[in-house]
Structure 1
Amino acid sequence: MEKEGELTKSIQGKVAEKQDIERPKSHKPGSERQEKAEQSDLDVSQTAHGFARESMDFRDLYKGYSKSRVILLPVEPYLIHACWEVTHKDIEKAKQRLGNDYRSSQAVLRFYDITNIIFDGTNAHDTFDVDIDLQSRNWYVDLWSPDKSYFVDLGFKTRDGFFLPVTRSNVV
Structure 2
Amino acid sequence: MMTANKLHSYTCKDLAQMARNEGVTGWHAMRKDELIEALIKTARRSRRTGGDPAAKGERGREVIEGSRSEKLNREESVRQAGKISAKRRQAQKQLDLIHQKMAKAKDLSCAAGDQNDEASGDRLVMLVRDPYWLHAHWEIAPSGVQRAKSSLGQFWHAAHPVLRVLQVDESGATLSRREIRIHGGVSNWYIDVADPPCQFRAEVGYAVEGGDFYCLARSNTVTTPAPGSADMVDTNWSDVAEKADQIYAMSGGYSHGGVSIELQELLEERLRRRLGRPSQTRYGHAVDPSRGSEMELALDAELVVYGSSDPHSHVTVMGEPVAVGDDGSFVVKMHLPDRRQVIPVVASSADGVQQRTVILGVERNTKELDPRYRDVATS
TM-score (norm 2): 0.27
After TM superposition, the structure 1 = structure 2 runs for residues 2-81 of structure 1, keeping only pairs within 5 Å, are 62-63=115-116, 65-81=119-135
Q: Does 1:103 align with 2:174?
A: no
Match of residue 159 from structure 1: 209
Match of residue 146 from structure 1: 196
Deviation, structure 1 residue 111: 1.5
Give the one of 159, 176, 182 matched to 1:132: 182
The 1:155–1:62 alpha-carbon spacing in structure 2 relative to 1, beyond 3 Å, is: closer
Conserved in 1, the CA contact under 8 Å of 2:158 and 2:208?
yes
Deviation, structure 1 residue 126: 4.0
Distance 1:61 1:76 in 2: 32
Match of residue 8 from structure 1: none
Match of residue 219 from structure 2: 169
Greater fraction of residues in strand:
1
- SS of the counterpart of 1:103? helix
Count of residues paired in the alignment:
109
Amino acid at match of 1:124: T
Give the one of 118, 122, 139 matched to 1:85: 139
Deviation, structure 1 residue 78: 0.4
Match of residue 116 from structure 1: 170
RMSD, matched Cα: 1.9
Distance 1:134 1:75 in 2: 24
Match of residue 94 from structure 1: 148
- SS of the counterpart of 1:84? strand
Deviation, structure 1 residue 146: 2.2
- SS of the counterpart of 1:94? helix
Amino acid at match of 1:104: A
Amino acid at match of 1:69: R
- SS of the counterpart of 1:135? coil
Percent of pairs with identical residues: 27
Conserved in 1, the CA contact under 8 Å of 2:168 and 2:174?
yes
The 1:73–1:96 alpha-carbon spacing in structure 2 relative to 1, beyond 3 Å, is: same
The 1:87–1:143 alpha-carbon spacing in structure 2 relative to 1, beyond 3 Å, is: same
Deviation, structure 1 residue 90: 0.7
Greater fraction of residues in helix:
2
Amino acid at match of 2:170: N
Amino acid at match of 1:141: I
- SS of the counterpart of 1:136? coil
Distance 1:169 1:101 in 2: 25
- Give unmatched runs, 5+ long, in structure 1: 1-59
**Which deviations, in whole Å up to 9, do the C-alpha atoms of 1:101-126 show, x marking residues without a partner?**
212211111121113122xxxx3244
Distance 2:131 2:157 in 1: 36
TM-score (norm 1): 0.58
Amino acid at match of 2:140: V
